[in-house]
Amino acid sequence: MIRLVTKERQWTLLFILPFYFGYGQWLFSFLFMMLGSLFQWDLNSANIDALFNLVYLALLGVVLVCIYRDYLKKSYEKMKGRWLKEITYACTLGSLKFYVINIICSMMIMLIHPGGVSANQEAVSQLALLEPTMMIVSTVILAPLVEELIFRVGLFQLFYTKSRTTAYLVSSLAFGFVHIVNGLFAGDFSQILYLLPYGLLGAVLCRFYEKRDTIFAPMMIHALNNLIGILIIL
């Protein structure tokens, strides 16, 4: 596994994690709202939510690529001669494993909480039907890029050198939490049940990252899983 250099680890600790898990979305929401008022955008709530998600992920993706540019260059170099193999794996066995675990997690939730719906999945479904183009770009291209760089490269590597078990736990639980936090803030505490399936999927992506020895493997599998989900919705 390619290690982050000291500068990249410092940026992860001092900027990326505080921004993503703390003030980033709130700050961007405020600026986005101010721009909307200034230019008097004539948009409905679905347009605003989808556009906000798209622009926020795009800008965050650019920042992450700039910060991790040396890591990504090394990863790209390491992938020479392996692209066909990794793409084939992502499109076949990797995606199949991920999809089976996804189905098992969904069945577990149905048994524990019959009729329950993930607030995150419900929000994605509604926006995908109303703004399919923006949501396809957000969920299939930008979200896998941003989330894999934050959770697998940033968080996972940060703890991996100290403890492999801790790295899995922290990265997976954080991945699960960000997918339920909006539901919790809305007062639906049943969403805590979805920490298990989302967290387990996060652990599987960590395993892909560790075993395949390239961040591009979980990125591709993540993207394919999201694409399947969007196509099912549409």
CA distances from 233 to 98, 141, 217, 227 (A): 18, 17, 25, 10
pLDDT at 102: 84
pLDDT at 113: 73
Q: Could you read off the pLDDT tens digit of each residue along the chain, which spans 234 residues?
A: 889 999 999 999 999 999 999 998 889 888 888 887 787 777 777 788 888 999 999 999 999 999 999 999 999 999 999 999 999 999 999 999 998 988 888 888 877 777 777 888 888 898 899 899 999 999 999 999 999 999 999 999 999 988 999 999 999 999 999 999 988 888 888 889 889 889 999 999 999 999 999 999 999 999 999 999 899 888
Burial 12-29 (b: 16+ CB within 10 A, else e): beeebbebbeeebbeebe
pLDDT at 105: 83
pLDDT at 92: 94
Asked if residue 111 lies in contact with residue 104, where contact means CB atoms within 8 angstroms, the answer is no
Closest by alpha carbon to 4, among 107, 177, 121, 149? Answer: 149
Rounded CA separation 153/150 (Å): 6
CA distances from 31 to 17, 45, 157 (A): 20, 17, 32
Assigned token pair, 137: 């770009």
Which element (helix H / strand E) includes 67?
A: helix 45-67
Quickly list DSSP for 124-193.
HHHHHHHSHHHHHIIIIIIHHHHHIIIIIIIIIHHHHTT-HHHHHHHHHHHHHHHTTHHHHHTT-GGGGG
178 alpha-carbon distance from chain centroid: 9
Give pTM, 2 decimals: 0.93
CA distances from 191 to 140, 166, 201 (A): 24, 24, 16
Q: DSSP code of 81? A: T
